[in-house]
Amino acid sequence: MSSPERPDGCAVVTGGSRGIGAAVAERLERDGWSVARLSRSGGGNGAGYRADVSDAEQVEAAFKRIEGDLGPVLVLVNNAGVRRDGLAIRMDREQWDDVVATNLTGAFNCTHRVLGSMLSARWGRIVNVSSVVAERANPGQANYAAAKAGLLALTRTVAREMARKGITCNAVVPGLIDTEMTEDVKERILPAIPAARPGTPEEVAACIGFLCSQEAGYVNGAALAVDGGLAS
């Protein structure tokens, strides 16, 4: 039995104004999607919308605007993320809450919001951007690692719940990617990478583009490493 044809709709990329998110938005646009770039600033090229994904009311308002402008949301890339590093013994509650709220609760808020339109279309693609630190301990990032590991569990659960409805939910697991967010850790991590270089946002975007495609309809609940062999 072949998968249903891709219906008309749009894609939303959270954290889409820069770094991996901007590269993903550009890739999806080349693949023929109308793309809304959701961020706290509302900036970036193309259709930019403003929302703090950790706030469910802001997410609801932003998605209503997006649907009014671009149509039903059938692709969601949960990429929004922040870091507030510190050793667990010194990490305060604000550092923990901010990272978990943005990186994990934000992904849930957006996923919860789009499932209705995907169910109506009986077609949808959700991709969560996790991190190699979800599987490989990195001192000073208890909050970030916990949130990114939670994303993998969220991915598998939604995949199981929605598999018969034509909706897939997958994750990419980037290693060291050359972005502004990793500038302060690049020199420390680089020697551990078998590929001996950081990855590019475009390399991550290529993998996400596939997972959002019609051809990836039988890929569900997967965690695709994009890490140059770092977690091997």
The Cβ-side half-sphere exposure at 4, using a 13 Å CA radius, reads 17
Dump pLDDT digits (tens) for 70-85.
999 999 999 999 999 9
Cα gap 81→79, rounded to integer Å? 6
Q: Mind telling me the catalytic residues?
A: 144
Which residue ranges make up each domain of the chain?
A: 10-226
pLDDT of residue 185: 80
Rg (CA), the chain: 17
The Cβ-side half-sphere exposure at 11, using a 13 Å CA radius, reads 31
Dump pLDDT digits (tens) for 103-157.
999 999 999 999 999 999 999 999 999 999 998 878 999 999 999 999 999 999 9
Which residues lie below 8 Å from residue 84, measured CB to CB, with a gap of 6+? 95, 98, 99, 143, 144
Superfamily of segment(s) 10-226? NAD(P)-binding Rossmann-like Domain (3.40.50.720)
